[in-house]
Amino acid sequence: MTPNVIKCPTKTVCKTKHRRCTFNNSVALSNRRCPTNRICDSLCKSIIDNHRFKGPSWKNTDATQWCTIAWSITKCYIPPDGYENVNTARDTDFNGIVNIIINCIKFQKYLKEDLSESANICTKVRDKNKTLKYSPTMRIADDEKGNFIITLVGILNDSVNVNNPSKFTETSQKLLKLKTDVFEVSATKR
Instruction: Identify whether the C-beta of residue 3 lies closer than 8 Å to the C-beta of residue 24.
Output: yes
pLDDT band at 27 (very low <50, low <70, confident <90, very high): very low
- Model-wide pTM > 0.75: yes
pLDDT band at 81 (very low <50, low <70, confident <90, very high): confident
pLDDT above 50 (res 162): yes
Give the mean model confidence (pLDDT) for residues 2-9.
65
pLDDT above 60 (res 39): yes
pLDDT above 50 (res 58): yes
- The neighbouring-strand residues paired with 20 are 17
- Reported as half-sphere exposure (CB side, CA atoms, 13 A), residue 115 has a value of 24
- CA-based angle 54:108:40, to the nearest 5? 45
pLDDT band at 22 (very low <50, low <70, confident <90, very high): low
- Give the residue extent of every domain in the chain: 34-110, 111-183
pLDDT value of position 13: 63
- Reported as half-sphere exposure (CB side, CA atoms, 13 A), residue 26 has a value of 10
